[in-house]
């Protein structure tokens, strides 16, 4: 049983207009086996939270803490966080020239586990995971994300989630840009990883539709860098009905966005 604990987190970024505070005191506790959905309108700071957990250099933590089983995550470099068991499925996975998927997956697995995976079982595991996510076998010889479609990139993120077996998975709008079939395939991958029982999940999304496939235990509504409401799965249903408008009005902000996914 592991715990990822975020306490009163304040995060800012440097912009041309000066420093801008994005997260204004976020507290969140995720335990192994739990799925937390973070929902909120565009610009509410959801993705900032995801990137900050992973250690993206663009974001500066001005106060608060993130700990993993009591260890200070903010003190760790990006690669140390990954090796400690934090995985970020990125909203915009990057194309990496010159590195084949095969080489990349093996190198990352070796770094995360501290030893090279047994070659025979590893090759089999990769092949099986790719098949389940309906990723063509020839992707193994292609460079990381190079020329992949948006949906293919997201599947490859979940492929890594399944192979690297992190303690905590942060899924940053993994559902965006996916058609219904791809959304199902990707969700099944997340559910498989979750079913192994050793992972906590932080699911960041703008829309409720992914929650039809991945059932959250807790829902947190994010507006203007803060959690404004928390509840169980029934809160997601209410958001589907009502949208984010009432929070935006309550916060005195102009932020408003529809919740329902646009028709595919």
Partner 1 sequence: MTAEATTEKARIGAPSIAGFTEEGEQLVASKVDRHHSHGVQVMASRAERLTSHDVADFAFPNGREEEWRFTPVRELANLLSDAPTDGDVLTVSVEAPEAFVLRTLHAGEAPRGATLVPADRAAVVASANTEEALFIQIPANAELDEPVRVVLTGKGAGRRSNSHHVIEAGENSRAVVILEHDGSADHNGNVEVFVRGGAQLTVVSVQLWEDDAKHLAQHDAEVAKDAVYKHIAVTLGGKIIRMNSNVRFAGEGAEAELLGLYFADAGQHLEHRSFVDHNVANCKSNVLYKGALQGKGAHTVWVGDVLIQKQAEGTDSYEKNQNLVLTDGCRADSVPNLEIETGLIEGAGHASATGRFDDQHLFYLMARGIPEDVARRLVVRGFLNEIIQQIKVPALEERLTEAVERELAAGDN
What is d(CA 165, CA 147) in angstroms, rounded to the nearest whole number?
26
Q: Is 242 in the site for partner 1 (CB under 8 A)?
A: no
Q: How far is CA 2 from the centre of its chain?
A: 17
What residues between 8 and 67 interact with partner 1 by CB under 8 A? 54-57
Residues 135, 157: contact at Cβ < 8 Å? no
Q: How many CA atoms lie within 13 A of 51 on its CB side?
A: 18
| Element containing residue 47 per DSSP (H, E) | helix 46-54
Toward partner 1, which CB reaches closer, 75 or 181? 75
Query: Is the CB of 99 or the CB of 255 nearer to partner 1?
Result: 99
Q: Which is nearer to partner 1, 79 or 242 (CB)?
A: 79
CA distances from 37 to 27, 30, 172, 219 (A): 14, 11, 11, 5
Q: How many residues belong to the chain?
A: 264
Stretch that binds partner 1, among 30-38, 105-113, 188-196, 202-210 (CB under 8 A): 105-113
Contact between 248 and partner 1 (CB under 8 A)?
A: no
Q: Which is nearer to partner 1, 125 or 245 (CB)?
A: 125
Q: φ and ψ at 106, to 5 degrees? A: -70, -40
How many residues sit close enough to partner 1 to count as binding (CB under 8 A)? 30
Shortest approach of partner 1 to residue 122 CB, angstroms? 15
Residues within window 109-138 making contact with partner 1, judged by CB under 8 A: 111-112
Q: Contact region for partner 1 (CB under 8 A) — 32-40, 60-68, 72-80, 230-238?
A: 72-80
By 3-state DSSP, what share of the chain in percent is helix, strand and coil, each rounded to 5?
A: 40, 25, 35
* Least gap, CB of 175 to partner 1 (angstroms): 20
Among 104, 122, 132, 217, binds partner 1 (CB under 8 A): 104
What is the DSSP code (8-state) at residue 212? G
Selected range binding partner 1 among 27-35, 89-97, 117-125, 238-246, rule: CB under 8 A: 89-97
Nearest CA-CA partner of 87 in 164, 23, 30, 33: 164
Give the one residue of 107, 141, 149, 264 binding partner 1; rule: CB under 8 A: 107
Looking at residues 161 to 220 of the shown chain, list those that interact with partner 1 (rule: CB under 8 A).
164
115 φ/ψ angles, rounded to the nearest 5 degrees: -155, 155
Strand arrangement, sheet containing 86-89: 86-89, 168-172, 200-205, 35-39, 218-223, 226-231
Binding site for partner 1 (CB under 8 A): 54-57, 77-79, 81-83, 88, 90, 93-100, 103-104, 107-108, 111-112, 143-144, 160, 164
């Amino acid at each position: 049983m592991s715990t990822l604990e975020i306490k009163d987190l304040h995060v800012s970024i440097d912009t041309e207009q000066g420093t801008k505070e994005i997260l204004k005191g976020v507290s969140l506790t995720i335990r192994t086996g739990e799925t937390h959905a973070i929902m909120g309108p565009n610009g509410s700071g959801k993705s900032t939270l995801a990137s900050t957990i992973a250690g993206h250099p663009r974001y500066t933590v001005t106060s608060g803490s993130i700990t993993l089983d009591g260890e200070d995550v903010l003190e760790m470099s990006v690669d140390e966080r990954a090796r400690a068991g934090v995985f970020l499925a990125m909203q915009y996975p990057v194309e990496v020239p010159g590195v084949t998927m095969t080489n990349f997956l093996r190198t990352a697995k070796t770094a995360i586990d501290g030893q090279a995976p047994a070659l025979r079982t590893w090759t089999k595991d990769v092949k099986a995971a790719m098949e389940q996510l309906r990723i063509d076998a020839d992707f193994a010889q292609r460079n990381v994300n190079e020329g992949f479609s948006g949906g293919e990139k997201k599947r490859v993120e979940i492929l890594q989630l399944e192979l690297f077996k992190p303690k905590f998975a942060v899924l940053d709008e993994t559902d965006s840009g996916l058609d219904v079939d791809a959304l199902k395939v990707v969700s099944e991958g997340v559910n498989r990883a979750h079913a192994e029982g050793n992972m906590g999940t932080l699911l960041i999304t703008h829309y409720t539709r992914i929650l039809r496939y991945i059932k959250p235990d807790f829902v947190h509504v994010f507006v203007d860098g803060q959690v404004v409401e928390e509840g169980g799965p029934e809160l997601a249903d209410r958001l589907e009905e009502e949208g984010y408008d009432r929070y935006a009005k309550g916060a005195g902000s102009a932020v408003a966005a529809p919740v329902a996914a646009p028709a595919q």
